Structure 1
Amino acid sequence: MELLNLLITQFTKSRVEQIEHFMNHPHEVQQETLSNLLIQAKNTEWGRKYGYSSIKNAEEYRQRVPLSAYDDLSPYIKRMMNGEQNLLWHSDIQWYAKSSGTTSDRSKFLPVSEEALEDCHFRGGKDLITLYLDRNPDSRIFLGKTVSVGGTLQTYEGNDDIYTGAISAIITKNLPIWAEYARTPSTSIAFLPWEEKLDAMAKSIAEQNVTNIMGLPTWTKVVLERVLEITGKKNILEVWPNLEFFAHGGVAFGPYRELFNQFIPSDSVNYIDIYNASEGFFGLQDGDCEEDEMLLMLDYGVYYEFLPMEESGEESTAAVGLEGMEVGKNYALLISTNAGLWRYKIGDTIRFTSTVPYRFKISGRVKHFMNAFGEELMVENAEQAMARASEATGALIHEFTAAPVFMQNGEKGRHEWLVEFTTAPDNEEKFKEALDEALRSVNSDYDSRRHKDLALLPPVVHILPKGTFYNWLKSKGKLGGQNKVPRLSNSREYVEDILAAVNTTTY
């Protein structure tokens, strides 16, 4: 293992040079990516329909090819899952990631080609290690195991050659032997349904020398709590003294930071943001990134475009490439990928913080925001405010969601927050006030509408019993994997559904 650690460290040095190349030549690398995608897909049904063979540049691509939502591509994807090929992408595709970006009952199945696995998802995982080793050359992570908190797989009804499931499970199933040897738990445990998996996983990984963890904070938290219960230890470092880092994605880490500081009481353990979705691996935190900031990875077979968000919170009509992007502005992310997603609206919004190189923060979801009163509250604002309110009141957040209370009977509107705590605040009323103050601090539109209660009354906060969000996700069939609670909604769909099932304390 010492030799393996040395060989891998040497191998990563050449990849660092490639990363530096796309950081220094982003536009050229992205243009080359688009050209390669068009060449590979020109003879597909989609490529023939839009004349990919004659598209010469990005501007012509934007003019000729329409934006795509899932419903636009779904007829092609269903045909592919039933055995047809060469529709959206030239190579045969047998893997489909079951999307869990929301708790909607309607599932999305996103194609995962061999090219996407190798050049995007696997490369993202390798680059995570590469950049970590580049700034931590004395690392000994390969002397132990990686804990991966993932999902399940199943064959597609009607075609046993097609597999569907969480992208984490698809990646695990296709890992090379050396990588599979370095991870835990075994696939016999990893692919179990969540409630069967939790105890078996915790017992198995508790006996390993774990040096790094990858997963969503929400589900990783549940696993680590169970490990501590089983072992009787006070913190995770008593179980895994050689733990070096936790790579997390899916939700902002801010509201969970203090909780993980208690799980892992050491300044020497690193926390690394990654942006890996069912559709691809798009960004990760390198050594020069600030908190919640990531480097946009430009050579993964993904061509990026950005739709500016209008003041109303809706998408504008004109997409731009990297060259037209403005720092500090919110954009809806569009991707064209080496799995056949074309100008696809992934649903996330991002905000660039730098162009040299291109670094960004995830600011929310296109459909997950609140703007019922002109406040333009993004998920990023909500997570920052929740972290500040928790710190101010000694609370530890487990989950939360929020929605507007619309104006009625002559009364002004307000926001309604449903919060489940791991550790309750020392003063619930103070928590509500701190949340309101933090929201006013991070969002000027919210502040102007809260000024003297002109358009918005103070928020109402419901404290939910422990286990509420878990049981709600379970009722939707959304336990484990990459499933997550929607942070904000401009409708009351989620809030009403949750409140109907529980008794709450209101402040």
Structure 2
Amino acid sequence: MSIKSFAAKIFANHIRKKIDKWASNPMETQEKVFNELLQKGKETAFGKDHGFETITSYSQFQEKVPIRDYEELKPYVDRMVAGEPDVLWPGRPLYYAKTSGTTSGAKYIPLTKDSMPTHIKAARNAILCYIAETGKASFVDGKMIFLQGSPEMDEKNGVKLGRLSGIVAHYVPAYLQKNRMPTWETNCIDDWETKVDAIVEETRKENMTVISGIPSWVQMYFERLQEKTGQKVGDLFRNFNLFIYGGVNYEPYRAKFENLIGRKVDSIELYPASEGFFAFQDRQEDKGMLLQLDSGMFYEFVKADEFFDEVPKRLTLGEVEMNVNYVMIISTTAGLWGYNIGDTVMFTSLKPFKLVVSGRIKHFISAFGEHVIAKEVEEAMQTATEKTGARISEFTVAPQITPQGEELPYHEWFIEFEQEPSDLKEFSAILDEALQQQNSYYLDLISGKILQQLVITKVPRDGFQQYMKSIGKLGGQNKLPRLSNDRKIADALEKIIKTEK
């Protein structure tokens, strides 16, 4: 055992105890965060506009601070970007995490001197919790790769801006710098396909022990490695035993990953976003992620099926229930107040508070009143692949409201298979049955002959990559929506399918 791995074990056990302390006192922890946020927010333009000076309770906060998304908070953000200090948080931000918006164009999410350290600490603690639980620490002596966006940044009125993953790259601790891959120069390559090829060349002969990134893009890296070397990833990297991921559910990819690697490896799920690092998986056998309660974020929750009501009820952590779909609302040390990040979550544990990401409040199918969410289609896909031995590269789902002839409407599943099932009809039936079991509205629509069983449309190899490239979102931190309530993605995929025939 090296000195570094021995020290990592001692430090991991120390951090685990600190985490257990705040996790076992959730209400006190959140109350402290809430009060500290209000205290610092009093002197900001937002705080003055919303009467923070007079707020003495959570109920008053609810009355004075409405739920907002980015578009509604944008007037304040625009003032910050223009150079005005003390707008949403004291002083000026350290960075802006630039993301692509839907209706507002580019989004500039502030990262402050108070919020930035919480991103780094949570990522570190996820790995330390793994070490504390498993006792495995030898990976700290090997090479680690983090597939991420370019660390190069622009500047806006004296504040640097870039992708969150690129900003975080500047905070890799000194003791990991020698282990980190790829090189800085390779990480700065903008074109994703060129970048992956360069990473393959840099890493193929290294002792890779940890690999991290969004599953769909790590999959591309693994495939290129296999094409280049003719070897399974696990044979090429014999000491690779830890995969760290976030952004999308890993389960639909797991079978293909294990085939590419040639064996099973441990994994840690993270829940990072530009707005905050919200949760991470702290136990290997527990798929729920531990909600970060002491990281300068105060959480509120609204039931997803009530979110679009005129006055939706906002709940504190002490009022949530397990297995209910909630929209998560945050107030943070980055100056985001009553902010709707757009994600929906479900709690898997209340002691301590653990959750899974169930989807996006804007990404669902309810063309017929079924309100199918991402978690349901992902779990249905997992059931179908496990029962048939099929492996998938990627998939998305869209409604078909106006089918040809006398057909009933249906959900169309666009699937890129890495290994097709021996019987596609059986696979389709299992998939549909699994979705019916999870969603009673969908079951009723099938039973009532309003909808027919789902239809599978096969997407050719690399078809989804072609689609992402066509919209300028190939690689990095970009994610394909798991489902849509319209045919925009479906129509684009149909064009790719026709071109390939």
TM range (shorter): over 0.9
Assess if the C-alpha contact under 8 Å between 2:290 and 2:354 holds in 1.
yes
Of the structure 1 ranges 398-407 and 213-222, higher mean CA displacement relative to structure 2 is found in 398-407
**Distance in 2 between the 1:144 and 1:104 partners?**
44
Counterparts of 1:152 and 1:493 in 2: how far apart (Å)? 29
Aligned to 1:348: 343
Instruction: Report how far residue 288 of structure 1 moved.
Output: 6.5
Return the match for 1:264 from 261, 272, 288: 261
| CA pair 301-182 structure 1, distance change in 2 beyond 3 A | farther
Structure 2 counterpart of 1:424, from 395, 399, 420 = 420
TM-score, normalising length: structure 1: 0.92
Secondary structure of the residue that 1:370 maps to in structure 2? Answer: coil
1:190 aligned onto 2:193: no
Give the secondary-structure state (helix, strand or coil) at the position aligned to 2:114. Answer: helix
Could you tell me how far apart the structure 1 residues matched to 2:454 and 2:104 are? Answer: 29
Task: Identify the residue that residue 74 of structure 1 maps to in structure 2.
Answer: 74
Q: Partners of 2:284 and 2:222 in 1: how far apart?
A: 29
Long gaps (5+) in structure 2: none
Partner of 1:175: 172
Q: Does the 8 Å CA contact 1:327/1:354 hold for their aligned counterparts?
A: yes
Q: Do the aligned residues in 1 keep the contact of 2:98 with 2:108 (CA within 8 Å)?
A: yes
SS at match of 1:479: coil
Selected match of 2:387 from 392, 397, 400: 392
Aligned to 1:127: 125
2:319 pairs with 1:324:
yes
1:149 aligned residue: 147
Native 8 Å contact 1:370 1:490 kept in 2:
yes
Q: Between the two proteins, what is the percent identity of the paired residues?
A: 35
Instruction: Tell me by how many angstroms 1:320 deviates.
Output: 0.7
Alpha-carbon separation, structure 1, partners of 2:424 and 2:443: 22
Q: How far did residue 71 of structure 1 move? A: 0.6
The offset of 1:340, in angstroms, is 1.2
Query: C-alpha displacement at 1:139, in angstroms?
Result: 2.2
My pick for the range that moved more, 126-135 or 150-159, is 150-159
1:405 paired residue among 383, 400, 403: 400
Q: Secondary structure at the match of 1:471?
A: helix
Contact between 1:81 and 1:94, CA under 8 Å: does it hold in 2? no
Does the 8 A contact of 1:306 with 1:333 survive in 2?
yes
- Residue correspondence of structure 1 range 241-390 to structure 2 within 5 A: 241-267=238-264, 269-287=265-283, 290-291=286-287, 293-310=288-305, 317-390=312-385
**Aligned equivalents of 2:417 and 2:103: distance in 1?**
24
Match of 1:37 in 2: 37
Structure 1 residue 410: deviation in Å? 7.6
Partner in structure 1 of residue 97 of structure 2? 97
User: Is the Cα–Cα contact under 8 Å of residues 85 and 92 in structure 2 kept in the other structure?
Assistant: yes
CA apart distance, 1:195:
2.5
Give the CA deviation at 1:151: 0.8
One-letter identity of the residue aligned with 1:381: E
Q: Structure 1 CA distance, aligned partners of 2:102 and 2:391?
A: 24
Q: Distance in 1 between matches of 2:166 and 2:309?
A: 34
Distance 1:174 1:437, change over 3 A: same
Name the counterpart of 1:136. Answer: 134
* Native 8 Å contact 2:376 2:438 kept in 1: yes
Cα shift at 1:315: 8.8
User: Is 2:201 the counterpart of 1:206?
Assistant: no
Distance 2:245 2:309 in 1: 29
Q: Contact 2:268–2:284 at 8 Å: present in 1 too?
A: no
Structure 2 residue corresponding to 1:165, chosen from 153, 156, 162: 162
Q: How many residues align?
A: 499
Structure 1 alignment gaps of length 5 or more: none
Q: Does residue 436 in structure 1 map to residue 432 in structure 2?
A: yes
Aligned-pair CA distance for 1:505: 10
Q: 1:313 to 1:240 in 2, by over 3 A?
A: farther
Q: CA deviation at 1:226?
A: 1.4
CA distance 1:213–1:80, change in 2 (3 Å)? same
Return the offset for 1:308: 0.9
Alpha-carbon separation, structure 2, partners of 1:372 and 1:227: 41
CA contact (8 A) 1:155 1:162 kept: no
CA distance in 1, matches of 2:114, 2:205: 35
Q: Distance between the aligned counterparts of 1:221 and 1:402, measured in 2? A: 21
